[in-house]
A and B are shown apart, each in its own frame.
Chain A
Amino acid sequence: DIQMTQSPSSVSASVGDRVTITCRASQGIRSWLAWYQQKPGKAPKLLIYAASNLQSGVPSRFSGSGSGTDFTLTISSLQPEDLATYYCQHANTFPFTFGPGTKVDIK
Chain B
Amino acid sequence: EVQLVQSGAEVKKPGEALKISCKGSGYRFTTYWIGWVRQMPGKGLEWMGIIYPSNSDTRYSPSFEGQVTISADKSIDTAYLQWSSLKASDTAMYYCARQYSSSDAMDVWGQGTTVIVSS
Q: Does A pair with B?
A: yes
Count residues of chain A with CB under 8 A from any CB of chain B: 25
Can you list, as one digit per residue, whether each of B32-50 has a CB less than 8 Å from chain A (1) or not (0)? Answer: 0001010000001111011
Known contacts A94-B59, A96-B50; is-contact A55 B44 (Cβ 8 Å): no
Could you tell me if B105 and A91 are in contact, using CB atoms closer than 8 angstroms? yes
> Which of B8-16, B71-79, B81-89, B107-115 binds A?
B107-115
Q: How far is the CB of A58 from chain B (nearest CB, A)?
A: 11
Answer yes or no: B102 CB below 8 A from chain A CBs: yes
Say yes or no: A43 contacts B110, CB within 8 Å. Answer: yes
In whole angstroms, how far apart are the Cα atoms of A8 and B44 in the complex? 15
Interface positions of A from 31 to 86, Cβ below 8 Å from B: 32, 34, 36, 38, 43-46, 49-50, 55, 85
Question: Which residues from chain A contact B47 at a C-beta distance below 8 Å?
Answer: 89, 95-98
In the complex, the answer to whether A43 meets B112 with C-beta atoms within 8 Å is yes
Q: B110 — which chain A residues lie within 8 A by C-beta?
A: 43
**Chain B min CB distance to A54 (Å):** 12
Q: Does B95 sit within 8 A of A, measured CB to CB?
A: yes
Q: Which parts of A1-57 form the interface with B (CB within 8 Å)?
A: 1, 32, 34, 36, 38, 43-46, 49-50, 55
B104 to A, closest residue via Cβ: A91
Once the chains bind, are B105 and A49 in contact (CB under 8 Å)?
yes
Contact of B106 among A32, A46, A85 (CB under 8 A): A46
Once the chains bind, are B45 and A46 in contact (CB under 8 Å)?
Answer: no
Which of B45, B61, B97, B104 makes the CB contact (< 8 A) with A38? B45
Q: How far is the CA of A34 from the CA of B37 in the complex (A)?
A: 15
- Measured between beta carbons, the chain A residues less than 8 angstroms from B106 are 34, 36, 44, 46, 89
Nearest chain A residue, comparing its CB with the CB of B95 = A43
Which of A36, A99, A101 has the most chain B CB atoms inside 10 A of its CB?
A36
Q: How far is the CA of A34 from the CA of B107 in the complex (A)?
A: 10
CB pair A98 B45 closer than 8 Å: yes
Q: Could you list 8 examples of A-B contacts with CB < 8 Å?
A: A43-B111, A44-B45, A49-B107, A55-B107, A91-B105, A95-B47, A96-B47, A96-B50
